[in-house]
Amino acid sequence: MPTNHTAGLIETSLAEGEILSDFVYLFDALMFLRRPYHEDIVRSEGVVRKIMCVITPDKPPKYTRAMREYRLGFAGVSTDPGLQAEFVNCVRHAALSLSDPEFVVWRPSLYFFRSRTLHLDLQEWF
């Protein structure tokens, strides 16, 4: 579960039609997957906040739009084991090994595969 501070930021970062429990699941799943690589939970949470587009002022709008669209493709993930497995399979190694929020590269395809089973029409996946 994200810290109270991060949970509040997630709530204000929701895209139109996005459900808080789905965003929190995606966030938690990525944190869990990163755990074997990073002992500093606070720093790891900072990386995940940037990658998943929790409000930070320095993100390019194109990246933010692409990640919101990507997250919306996982609508219902908090209660659907199939979508949960699909998300875990879409996470690239770069999302797990990135050690510092300052090193985030604003290209979603570095961190996540596009899921074929979700039939996402991601206009700005770069």
Which pLDDT score is estimated for 117? 62
Task: Yes or no: say if 56 and 104 are a contact pair by the CB < 8 Å rule.
Answer: no
Q: What is the mean pLDDT of residues 95-115?
A: 92
- Model confidence at 12, in pLDDT bands (50, 70, 90)? confident
* Residues 31, 48: Cα–Cα separation, whole Å: 7
Q: Which residue has the tokens 């510092």?
A: 100
Which pLDDT score is estimated for 56? 66
- Model confidence at 122, in pLDDT bands (50, 70, 90)? low
- Model confidence at 16, in pLDDT bands (50, 70, 90)? confident
* Residues 65, 62: Cα–Cα separation, whole Å: 5
